[in-house]
Structure 1
Amino acid sequence: MPGSSESLSHAIGLRLTSVALFATMNVGIKLVEARGASLGEILFWRQFGAALLVGSIVGGGPGFGSLRTRRFGAHIVRCVVGLTAMSLTFWTLLLLPLAEATTLGFSMPIFATVLGALVLHEATGWRRWAAVLTGFVGVIIVTQPGSGHIPPLGIATGLGAAFCTACISILLRTIGKTEAGLTTVFWFSVLSMVPLAPFYMMVAQPHPPLVWALLLGIGLLGGAAQIAMTRSLQLGDVSLVVPMDYTALLWATLFGWLVFATLPVASTWVGAPVIVASGLYIVWREHVRRRHGTERAIT
């Protein structure tokens, strides 16, 4: 029953699972790149594996007839923006340590607030604008522009990925009104193969069996994470599940230490909590705004 304590616990569990799966996928991305795989190959296998997984679930469950859509154009736009975001995210992972790359991704709610005000003309009070400003201060603390602490290209790709992900959140608000979660994930994965397949043919190269297994694992992990993330939003409010995303920094720090023998530098320890606090406040204010809107509609 939607809204019950059981469904809310399920939503939180799914979101935490998606974060852990994405974090594990990120480790795989860095490992295969270190073993010679290119960004183009990683992107192809990420989407190919996801398409296999989602196709198997749909074929063994509701059937492919359930994937019919009247919003094909919206799925194409989502695919273009999603592929751009994914490319920038993966590029950032290859340029930066896990913790720093993950922290830059936390600036997404900041961009989402700005886009919501400019594109959707959402009412945005001074409190949320203050949170946006605070979040950007946190980004400056982490990146320390001009210091050489983080490569400028890594900063650009990380913030670009966060911006594109914020654009996706705006698109999904409209797509999600008529499309099921599996439908959205399926069309994103399949449509992505159109540009990725010919590009992959140009950059494909032989690899040891371990790299092939890791590449397939990246796709399966990414697909499973995407399904869990989408399902969590069907069972629980954004204000409930999105804060779980910040556990990604714990996974990034742990994996960075265990797998790559790296820990976040001092500026990341200082700036990351500022960005997280900003994002949490933005999510909370969005919850308050929606609740007040519902109350006014009822009365």
Structure 2
Amino acid sequence: MMTDNLRGAALMAASMAAFTFNDALIKLVAETIPLFQMVFLRGVSATVLVALLAWRMGAFARPISRADRGLVALRILAEVCIFIPFIIALTHMPLANVTAILQAVPLTITLAGALFLGEAVGWRRWVAILVGFAGVLLIVRPGGDGFNIYALLALAAVAGITLRDVVTRKLSADVPSLQIAVWTALAICCLGFVGSLFRPWAPVSAFEGLQIVGASVFILGGYLFSIMVMRVGEIGFIAPFRYTALVWGLLLGWVVFGEWPDGLTLLGSGIIVATGIYTLWRERVHPAG
């Protein structure tokens, strides 16, 4: 019989797989369709699907309190600002490289918690954060031949995700997550529409349309699984399975795009994963350091 911890680990792995498949489909479609046109079309589909899920689960029955509205607006703005550098980096960098850089988020959130929220972080976790950032530098390699503006954009997305999650921590517990997801999806859809006005639209084949709908389904699945995973098992056991996203990034990058990272990128990825898992373990065993 599957325990709650194993069920939670499976849900976390499924969530990471869904998000990474979505990224791969976006990257694939963007090869033939203008970027913002694709963002708008996927936004329409994703907004409809997430809204239906939110309605089905009764998320609209609870209005967002006046005290939380400013934070929700700030979170949505942060999400939109994240999306721009992320989508540009995704469409110009190997999928595994972008996925690996994003795995630094647990480290940056720990850092932000210490600097801005007054959370206790002992010297061991400070060392883990520094070592993890060294892993990021092995992937980005400032000053190296492979360094470019897109690597900086991926790092900007990490910074934006960190800000978004710090804001999220300040929200009241009764704010409906799915309702926030609907407004976020709608905001990104509007961003895609505005951006698409500045470039002629390309015809969309039936296969490309299917890929866009598929990306929307994976986004919905990723979000649904990420909600479910918070309701079962121990987060300290489950959280490290978020790094399965890197495995999917490597596999999809190789199979779909013929990309395989070099040795330094793989080494940097391994360092980020190892320090992230250590940080999560340390938080579980010794919350104060």
Residues 89 and 150, structure 2, Cα contact 8 Å, conserved in 1: yes
Instruction: Give the alignment partner of residue 263 of structure 1, picking from 260, 265, 273.
Output: 260
Residue identity matched to 1:184: I
**Following the alignment from structure 1 to structure 2, what is the Cα–Cα distance between the partners of residues 190 and 245?**
26
1:43 is matched with which residue?
39
1:55 is matched with which residue?
51
Following superposition, the deviation at residue 195 of structure 1 comes to 4.3
2:92 is matched with which residue?
95
Following superposition, the deviation at residue 57 of structure 1 comes to 1.8
Task: Give the TM-score normalised by structure 2.
Answer: 0.89
**Following the alignment from structure 1 to structure 2, what is the Cα–Cα distance between the partners of residues 173 and 289?**
20
**Following the alignment from structure 1 to structure 2, what is the Cα–Cα distance between the partners of residues 79 and 289?**
33
Quick check: 1:167 aligned with 2:163? yes
1:145 is matched with which residue?
142
2:12 is matched with which residue?
15
Long gaps (5+) in structure 1: 294-299
Instruction: Give the alignment partner of residue 69 of structure 1, picking from 30, 50, 64.
Output: 64
Residue identity matched to 1:164: G
**Following the alignment from structure 1 to structure 2, what is the Cα–Cα distance between the partners of residues 31 and 170?**
32
| Structure 1 or 2: more helix by fraction | 1
Long gaps (5+) in structure 2: none
Quick check: 1:248 aligned with 2:245? yes
Quick check: 1:155 aligned with 2:151? yes
Quick check: 1:212 aligned with 2:228? no
Distance 1:28 1:95, change over 3 A: same
State the superposition RMSD in angstroms: 2.4
**Following the alignment from structure 2 to structure 1, what is the Cα–Cα distance between the partners of residues 155 and 95?**
15
Residue identity matched to 1:240: F
Instruction: Give the alignment partner of residue 278 of structure 2, picking from 277, 281, 285.
Output: 281
Matched position secondary structure for 1:253: helix
**Following the alignment from structure 1 to structure 2, what is the Cα–Cα distance between the partners of residues 187 and 273?**
35
Task: Give the TM-score normalised by structure 1.
Answer: 0.86
Following superposition, the deviation at residue 112 of structure 1 comes to 1.0
Following superposition, the deviation at residue 131 of structure 1 comes to 0.5
**Following the alignment from structure 1 to structure 2, what is the Cα–Cα distance between the partners of residues 167 and 12?**
26
**Following the alignment from structure 2 to structure 1, what is the Cα–Cα distance between the partners of residues 13 and 249?**
14
CA shift digits 1:50-88 (9 cap, x unpaired): 22112112333427324x211222221111111222222
Quick check: 1:222 aligned with 2:216? no
**Following the alignment from structure 1 to structure 2, what is the Cα–Cα distance between the partners of residues 145 and 231?**
39
Residue identity matched to 1:288: V
**Following the alignment from structure 1 to structure 2, what is the Cα–Cα distance between the partners of residues 273 and 235?**
28
